[in-house]
């Protein structure tokens, strides 16, 4: 099983799935693709030829130059790729950065092994003007582990540590399949109580931020309003909501909190009766740059504890599809705002029609019939998904302490601010580091 690319008729003029990515030469793979001969040759050149497109510069100078152009412009203006080849590259960066190649720097995607840089002989390692995700990959990070239920396993492990009776078992192996006893979460007399379905709607320092005597939190639960008092409070929800929860905060802090616009993401999961069509076509992962969902792949094989993945093509399996609503050509934060609107306004019917259409057209030649073979669809849409990471193409280089996330997360009386937003970094490590920092902000106050 290998990787493939699906070219759709709306963008490329004809529907065509090509397989063998990573196994056969690109010229051979693309020969069947609905692309001009020049576009085919340019894509193959970018993948396979080791050309120094920035001769005469040192590695550091090249990295600086690459940090100032989008990958799209690198391809067009520096590597001289024909514009007809760009739609093929357009969606390659969406999963990781939440925008297409028009809005991510060439330097950033170099760290993720995007093609075209092999002849530049760049020295390994991070560099100034690199975004946070790229920085992590440049210094040895990798996408290596996948829990069967995603990051939910991490939340289960945290809850188990706080309230052991709620999540029976021990260790990572049995966490994914452990049944959670929700009745244990909010029992009187426990040191830790977790109250679900409770939305904080107002948070204020009693006595004002300077002379705070504690915090009053108003929250809404099942249509009723409640109030709770606390010595300290950590706000760990989305930072851009905090100005509405704490209206008496300063204008400067509110503006800073509004700056970071969460990245919208959709993970769609489609249950299918079997994966014989994938097997027949020889692909487990398909990049579809012109389609509604730009990537789809069979659920990765993960065996952990009593959870085991399917092995036979005759067995039912999940297909994971990713959609990132982008508006190429605009700055990153504006694209995300439009993406939020898109996800909030799109009906499930629109998703379903696009999913059935895309799976049918991509896998039909392998015998797939959407009406017969799809058994369930789940669309998980996160209008507010990844935390925003500054983009060197659009954001200034702030002095230490002056970046919006640093101004925004300042302790406000007895209220501290966490969430991955307050680290301006998308991943779970940022969430954990920022939670630690927020608690320390209160302990030291
Ligand atoms: C699709 C997707 C895939 C991801 N994949 C990875 C990955 O592979 N690896 C990785 O490291 N990270 C991944 N992440 C990022 C990771 O999920 C985040 O870094 C992490 O969840 C951030 O944790 P947090 O506690 O800061 O915020 P969150 O997990 O966002 O938690 C904030 C919580 O606050 C609640 N909340 C908000 N407002 C209020 C309110 N007013 N009152 C009460 N509660 C409120 C929300 O409901 C939410 O439960 C992914 C994120 C997404 C969206």
What are the structural domain ranges in the chain? 36-138, 145-196, 263-386
Instruction: Report how far apart, in Å, the C-alpha atoms of 341 and of each of 38, 257, 323, 337 are.
Output: 38, 20, 14, 7
Name the closest-CA residue to atom 24, ligand 1: 419
Q: Return the DSSP state at 330.
A: S
33 alpha carbon – ligand 1 mean position (Å): 39
156 alpha carbon – ligand 1 mean position (Å): 14
Closest CA to 21 of 7, 9, 10, 11: 7
Q: Return the DSSP state at 315.
A: S
Q: Is the minimum distance from the CB of 236 to ligand 1 under 6 angstroms?
A: yes
Q: Is the minimum distance from the CB of 177 to ligand 1 under 6 angstroms?
A: no
**Span 29-37, mean pLDDT?**
97
pTM of structure:
0.96
| 3-state helix, strand and coil shares in percent for the chain, rounded to the nearest 5 | 35, 20, 45
Find where tokens 């929800």 sit.
237
Q: What is the pLDDT of residue 386?
A: 97
Q: Is the minimum distance from the CB of 426 to ligand 1 under 6 angstroms?
A: yes
**Torsion angle in degrees (nearest 10) through CA of 28, 31, 33, 39:** 100
Q: What is the pLDDT of residue 445?
A: 84
**Torsion angle in degrees (nearest 10) through CA of 341, 343, 348, 354:** 110
Q: What is the pLDDT of residue 235?
A: 98
Question: Is the pLDDT reported for residue 141 higher than 90?
Answer: no
Q: Is the minimum distance from the CB of 431 to ligand 1 under 6 angstroms?
A: yes
Closest CA to 111 of 136, 82, 94: 136
Question: Is the pLDDT reported for residue 143 higher than 80?
Answer: no
Q: What is the pLDDT of residue 147?
A: 86
Q: What is the pLDDT of residue 416?
A: 98
Q: Measured between alpha carbons, how far is 181 from 267 in angstroms, rounded to an integer?
A: 27
Q: What is the pLDDT of residue 142?
A: 79
| Percent of the chain at pLDDT exceeding 70 | 100
Q: What is the pLDDT of residue 109?
A: 98
**Nearest ligand 1 atom to alpha carbon 245:** 41
Instruction: Answer for the pair 374, 271: CB distance below 8 angstroms, yes or no.
Output: yes
Instruction: Answer for the pair 418, 438: CB distance below 8 angstroms, yes or no.
Output: yes
Residue 215 dihedral angles phi and psi, to the nearest 5°: -130, 140
Q: Measured between alpha carbons, how far is 135 from 114 in angstroms, rounded to an integer?
A: 15
Other Cβ atoms closer than 10 A to 42: 23
Q: What is the pLDDT of residue 328?
A: 98
Q: What is the pLDDT of residue 380?
A: 96
Q: What is the pLDDT of residue 220?
A: 98
pLDDT band at 113 (very low <50, low <70, confident <90, very high): very high
pLDDT band at 337 (very low <50, low <70, confident <90, very high): very high
Q: Measured between alpha carbons, how far is 408 from 371 in angstroms, rounded to an integer?
A: 50
Mutate to test the pocket of ligand 1, among 94, 95, 144, 151 (most ligand atoms within 8 A of CB): 151
Other Cβ atoms closer than 10 A to 406: 16
**Nearest ligand 1 atom to alpha carbon 385:** 53
Instruction: Report how far apart, in Å, the C-alpha atoms of 60 and of each of 216, 224, 411 are.
Output: 52, 59, 38
**Nearest ligand 1 atom to alpha carbon 430:** 19
Q: Is the minimum distance from the CB of 237 to ligand 1 under 6 angstroms?
A: yes
Instruction: Answer for the pair 435, 443: CB distance below 8 angstroms, yes or no.
Output: no
Name the closest-CA residue to atom 20, ligand 1: 428
Over the stretch 201-242, which tens digit does the pLDDT of each residue have?
Answer: 999 999 999 999 999 999 999 999 999 999 999 999 999 999
Q: What is the pLDDT of residue 144?
A: 74
The pLDDT mean for the chain works out to 96
Q: Is the minimum distance from the CB of 199 to ligand 1 under 6 angstroms?
A: yes
**Span 400-405, mean pLDDT?**
97
End-to-end CA distance of the chain: 57
pLDDT band at 86 (very low <50, low <70, confident <90, very high): very high
Find where tokens 């991070």 sit.
126
Kindly state the helix (H) or strand (E) to which residue 73 belongs, with its residue range.
Answer: helix 71-73
Cβ-Cβ contacts under 8 Å for 432 (sequence gap 6 or more)? none
Q: Is the minimum distance from the CB of 380 to ligand 1 under 6 angstroms?
A: no
Instruction: Answer for the pair 16, 32: CB distance below 8 angstroms, yes or no.
Output: yes
420 alpha carbon – ligand 1 mean position (Å): 8
Q: By three-state DSSP, how is residue 226 classified?
A: strand
89 alpha carbon – ligand 1 mean position (Å): 29
176 alpha carbon – ligand 1 mean position (Å): 18
Question: Is the pLDDT reported for residue 166 higher than 80?
Answer: yes
**Span 416-425, mean pLDDT?**
98
Q: Angle at the Cα of 18 (from 115 to 316), degrees rounded to 5?
A: 110
**Nearest ligand 1 atom to alpha carbon 146:** 8
Q: Is the minimum distance from the CB of 324 to ligand 1 under 6 angstroms?
A: no
Question: Is the pLDDT reported for residue 373 higher than 80?
Answer: yes
Other Cβ atoms closer than 10 A to 2: 14
Instruction: Report how far apart, in Å, the C-alpha atoms of 51 and of each of 54, 88, 104, 120, 270 are.
Output: 9, 20, 22, 7, 41
Q: What is the pLDDT of residue 114?
A: 98
**Nearest ligand 1 atom to alpha carbon 431:** 26
Q: What is the pLDDT of residue 145?
A: 78
Q: What is the pLDDT of residue 413?
A: 98
Question: Is the pLDDT reported for residue 344 higher than 90?
Answer: yes
Q: What is the pLDDT of residue 40?
A: 98
166 alpha carbon – ligand 1 mean position (Å): 21
Over the stretch 298-335, which tens digit does the pLDDT of each residue have?
Answer: 988 889 999 999 999 999 999 999 999 999 999 999 99
Name the closest-CA residue to atom 47, ligand 1: 237
Token representation of residue 140: 């040895």
Point out the least confidently predicted range of 61-65, 282-286, 304-308: 304-308
**Nearest ligand 1 atom to alpha carbon 198:** 43
162 alpha carbon – ligand 1 mean position (Å): 18
Mutate to test the pocket of ligand 1, among 426, 430, 435, 438 (most ligand atoms within 8 A of CB): 426
Instruction: Answer for the pair 387, 423: CB distance below 8 angstroms, yes or no.
Output: yes
| Percent of the chain at pLDDT exceeding 90 | 91
The CATH architecture annotation of domain 263-386 reads Alpha-Beta Complex (3.90)
Q: What is the pLDDT of residue 301?
A: 86
Point out the least confidently predicted range of 59-68, 206-215, 256-265, 300-309: 300-309
Instruction: Report how far apart, in Å, the C-alpha atoms of 379 and of each of 155, 271, 373 are.
Output: 21, 12, 18
Cβ-Cβ contacts under 8 Å for 180 (sequence gap 6 or more)? 156, 159, 166, 167
**Nearest ligand 1 atom to alpha carbon 421:** 26
pLDDT band at 146 (very low <50, low <70, confident <90, very high): confident
For 94-140, the DSSP string reads: HHHHSS-TTSSBHHHHHTTT-TT-TTT-PPSS--TT--HHHHHHHTT
């Amino acid at each position: 099983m290998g990787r493939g690319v699906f070219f759709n008729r709306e963008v490329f003029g004809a529907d065509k799935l090509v397989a063998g990515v990573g196994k056969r030469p690109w010229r051979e793979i693309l020969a069947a693709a609905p692309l001009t001969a020049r576009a085919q040759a340019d894509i193959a050149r970018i993948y396979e030829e080791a050309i120094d497109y920035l001769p005469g510069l040192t590695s550091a100078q090249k990295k600086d130059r690459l940090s100032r152009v989008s990958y799209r412009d690198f391809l067009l203006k520096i590597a001289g790729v024909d514009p007809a080849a760009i739609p093929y590259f357009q969606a390659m960066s969406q999963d990781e950065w939440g925008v297409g190649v028009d809005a991510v720097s060439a330097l950033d995607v170099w760290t993720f092994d995007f093609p075209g840089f092999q002849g530049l002989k760049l020295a390994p390692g991070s560099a100034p003007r690199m975004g946070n995700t790229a920085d992590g990959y440049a210094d040895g990070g990798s996408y290596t582990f996948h829990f069967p239920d995603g990051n939910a396993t991490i939340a289960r492990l945290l809850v188990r540590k706080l309230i052991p009776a709620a999540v029976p078992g021990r260790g990572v192996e049995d966490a994914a399949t452990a049944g959670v006893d929700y009745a244990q979460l909010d029992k009187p007399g426990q040191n830790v109580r977790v109250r679900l379905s409770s939305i904080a709607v107002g948070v204020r320092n009693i006595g004002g931020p300077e002379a705070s005597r504690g915090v009053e939190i108003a929250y809404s639960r099942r249509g009723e309003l409640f109030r709770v008092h606390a010595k300290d409070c950590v706000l760990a929800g989305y930072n851009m909501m905090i100005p509405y929860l704490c209206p008496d905060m300063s204008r400067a802090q509110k503006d800073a909190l509004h700056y970071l616009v969460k990245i919208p993401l959709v993970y769609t999961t489609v249950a299918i009766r079997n994966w014989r069509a994938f097997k027949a076509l020889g692909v487990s992962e398909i990049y579809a740059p012109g389609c509604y969902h730009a990537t789809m792949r069979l659920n990765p094989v993960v065996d952990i504890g009593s959870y085991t993945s399917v092995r036979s093509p005759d067995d039912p399996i999940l297909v994971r599809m990713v959609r990132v609503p982008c508006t190429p050509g605009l700055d990153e934060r504006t694209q995300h705002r439009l993406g939020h609107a898109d996800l909030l306004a799109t009906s499930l019917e629109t998703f379903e029609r696009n999913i059935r259409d895309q799976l049918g057209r991509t896998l039909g030649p392998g015998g797939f019939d959407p009406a017969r073979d799809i058994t369930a669809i789940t669309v998980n849409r996160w209008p507010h998904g990844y935390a925003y990471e500054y983009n060197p193409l659009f954001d200034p280089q702030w002095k230490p302490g002056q970046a919006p996330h640093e101004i925004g997360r300042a302790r406000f009386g007895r209220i501290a601010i966490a969430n991955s937003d307050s680290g301006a970094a998308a991943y779970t490590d940022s969430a954990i580091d920022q939670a630690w920092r927020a608690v320390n902000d209160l302990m030291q106050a």
